[in-house]
Amino acid sequence: MSRHSARADPERGARVDHLAAAGIALGAAAVLSLSAHFGRSWLAAGLALLQALLVLSWIAGTGLPGRLGALLIGAAAAAAADVALLVQQPVTLAALLGVLALCVPALLAHQLSRGVVRVRVTESLSGVTVLCTAVAALAAPLALVRAVDGPRLVSAVMVAAGVGLFASHLVDTVLPVPRLSAEVPHGLLGVAAAIGAGAVAGAGHAAGDRTLGLVGGVGLGALVAAVAALVAVGVGYIAQTVEPLRVPLAQFALPYLRVGLPLAFTAPVGYLLALYVTG
């Protein structure tokens, strides 16, 4: 569906986006869960794929000014975050702070390099900042996979987030109530469905696992899914204010952002929660 037709029938466009996002959520969760069990290299490859799609979707879906620089900086931030968490000893998320610190001069240089086309500077600067933060945060599972029983923990976090997003988008497709805003097709019922689905996914991963435990698994899954669903609501607000680019496959950019951004900003939360419930 084109963006124009979606605007002509916003409710139908929202339902299409929700259904697409629900399918993407299951696919992304499956990729990360399976790759974590195959080893760090496979997980890094799976994350790199999702990060690349996140960079492209953010640029195409938001119509970001300064697109070439945003592409280069976003790709560099993703690669630097992945490498930092793969090689750092001992492994912590502190390495991501160094990556984000290096992004600051790159962001300023990007705006200076735009020359005479330097328009919408605040929008461009803030947009690339969010992009760098998101792709760096999405690397967090590379730190968690190196913990005790790391592959199972990564799978628990990512599957809970993915299944939670699937349930949330599915409910919002048919019954987005009670709405937080009349313009945004998300309801608290979808958030509640995400929490329930995440709790079930966490319980499934905790079965027979003494390290995680049933209570820890349910709590981890529910909290991770809640964070993911709430970030998805935030993306819904963003989707109402942006003008996507008219490029091939741009219609898939916003549905992917409804999944990619929640997974990205949930990943560090899942890392901390997983260490807490297993500590």
pLDDT, tens digit (0-9, with 9 covering 90-100), for 103-149 = 999 999 999 988 777 788 899 999 999 999 999 999 999 999 988 78
Average pLDDT over residues 165-183: 92
What is the distance between the alpha carbons of residues 72 and 227, in angstroms, rounded to a whole number?
Answer: 29
**Conformational region of residue 88, where left means phi above 0, alpha means psi within -120 to 50, and beta covers everything else:** beta
For 50, the 3-state DSSP assignment is helix
CA 207 to chain centre: 27
Residue 232, pLDDT > 60, answer yes
SS3 string, 117-184, reads: HCCCHHHHHHHHHHHHHHHHHCCCHHHHCCCCCHHHHHHHHHHHHHHHHHHHHHHHHHCCCCEEECCE
Residue 165, pLDDT > 60, answer yes
What's the pLDDT at 235?
A: 95
Q: How many domains does the structure of the chain reveal?
A: 1
Q: What is the mean pLDDT of the chain?
A: 91
Domain with 87, as residue range(s), is: 3-278
What is the distance between the alpha carbons of residues 119 and 115, in angstroms, rounded to a whole number?
Answer: 9
Copy the structure tokens of residue 210: 């003494």
State the helix-helix crossing angle for 121-137 and 94-113, rounded to 10 degrees: 150
Residue 188, pLDDT > 50, answer yes
pLDDT digit string, tens, across residues 77-91: 999 999 999 998 888
Average pLDDT over residues 32-37: 94
